[in-house]
A = this chain, B = another copy of it.
Amino acid sequence: MPSPKTQPARGMRDFLPADVRKREYVISVIKQVYERYGFEPLETPAVENIETLMGKYGEEGNQLIFKILKRGEHEKTGAADLALRYDLTVPLARVVAQYQNELPKFFKRYQIQPVWRADRPARGRFREFYQCDVDVLGSQSMVVEAELIAAASDALVALGFKDFTIRLNHRQVLTGILDQAGVAPEKHGDALMALDKMDKVGPEGVARELRDRGIVDESAVRLMRFFEGLAGAQHALYLVDLVDAGTARAAYNADVLGRLVEFVGAHESGASGVDDLRQILQFSKASDVAARIKLDPTLARGLAYYTGAIIEINVADLAGSLGGGGRYDNLVGMFLGKDVAACGFSLGLERIIVVMSEREMFPPALVSSPADVMVTIWNEESVNESIALANELRSRGLRVELYPQADKIGNQIKYANARRIPYVAIVGEDERIKHEVAIRDMEREEQLRFSFEPTAKEKLFAWLNERKAGEAGGGIKPGA
């Protein structure tokens, strides 16, 4: 019986082989797409000095950071000097400050590593989870936003996603809207939290929350009028019956953009934000990502460090997002003393896997057997023949499990069957005398004999490799 003391720590997970294969598959697809966009890999330590992390994620973030006790004689003081990585963005900002002279002017990096948060565990929410981050440092051009959106979108398409929406907004536009509605600057946070719930609680709910949070009525009315007006733009999406989805989405975005221009008006940074959004849409036209982008002025995103565009990717059957990101031009400055333009996007590995598992999107070859062939051991005297055969098969590129001990041949075949290994090689008494190998096809339940004479054995290797290629069926080979 498994006892509590053999379970992983709360909110953490063990990944058995089939799980690891799924995770590695998703990671390898994402990496391949990111490399195609010219991004390079970066890795940082799991453990950071505690000062590096504290104060970067707001008060709630500080609470959720796992802190590591000092060691040796200091252990009993209960003081912490180190902490577990909480996201991949703050370590990136530290790295950019530390290695500024070694890094290129435009540092395009991806980073796929775990992070740890002492959140209350819930369905799909873990205390150790992977982020797949991609960031560009050093340019203020909206080409960066367009590339990040295209790369993340390409990664999801490569994984088989077809139906996601990329929501796009801008921090300065949000500020412009709130300023123009007359919301006092110190009430912006409250107003955003209320507006962020439009999808969940509807206009009446938001109106109520705006009042509860102390937004003056006149401002609330102006805000509500603007956001309810946006619903009108939705009509553009109904065009989808007449034109293609891309054209309908473009008409919708153009409509929203027009309403933003009108409402934000002469608000300087707001207007500049609207212009950024227009450019991002424009630069996205060159790829088929444009039809997936939806301007959404209600999108706020929690993190304090965003300064420009904000992005989130959603699918209908997942409450949270598959990923999100945005521009954060001031964060590196906290380490370097001078600001560096920066924009990034993060895909959530576990959420992607949750949706892919529920939708059965993994290639069938992934969940296949741990080996192409199992070599049996006939008896104590024939161990070396079996080892030699296994080694020869391996040297021909096959994945070979050697049954580890002499045993009844029936037990060995039963074992191969349970492990779903498609072929079993047997060198029994008769085969030894004749210099042959019997190959059992586990699915067809038939047995074939091959000569193992030096001049003839290539036929066996060729036959097995052919079968293997057939089994793989275009799926991705584990460990490839």
Contacts and interface: CB of A to CB of B under 8 A. Distances in A.
Given A38-B399, A69-B68, A109-B17, A47 B116 contact: yes
Contact of A2 (B8, B15, B35, B98): B98
A34 B335 CA distance: 42
Interface in A387-437: 387-388, 391, 394, 397-406, 415, 418-419
Contacts of A404: 106, 136, 138-139, 141, 143-144, 147
B139 A405 contact: yes
Contacts of A77: 78
A196 B309 CA distance: 62
A47 B402 contact: no
For the complex formed by this chain, how many copies does it contain in all? 2
A272 to B, nearest CB: 16
Interface residues of A, number: 118
A242 interface: no
A286 interface: yes
B283 A387 contact: yes
Dominant SS among interface residues on chain A? mixed
A429 B39 CA distance: 29
A404 to B, nearest CB: 4
A206 B144 CA distance: 65
Contact of A66 (B40, B47, B79, B109): B47
Contacts of A406: 141
Contacts of A94: 6, 8
A203 interface: no
B143 A51 contact: no
Contacts of A103: 16
A455 interface: no
A237 interface: no
8 contacts: A6-B94, A6-B98, A12-B45, A35-B479, A38-B370, A45-B128, A143-B387, A143-B402
Interface of A: 2-3, 5-9, 12-17, 19-21, 23-24, 31-32, 34-49, 51-52, 63-64, 66-69, 71-72, 75-80, 82, 84, 91, 94-95, 97-100, 102-106, 108-109, 114, 116, 118, 127-128, 136, 138-141, 143-144, 146-147, 150, 154, 282-283, 285-287, 335-336, 370-371, 374, 377, 383-385, 387-388, 391, 394, 397-406, 415, 418-419, 478-480
Ranked nearest first, the 5 interchain pairs of A and B with the lowest CB-CB distance are A78-B78, A38-B401, A12-B45, A141-B405, A17-B40
Given A45-B128, A104-B418, A141-B405, 16 more contacts: A6-B98, A8-B44, A9-B45, A16-B42, A16-B103, A36-B397, A37-B400, A38-B370, A46-B116, A47-B128, A68-B68, A140-B405, A143-B405, A147-B387, A286-B391, A287-B391
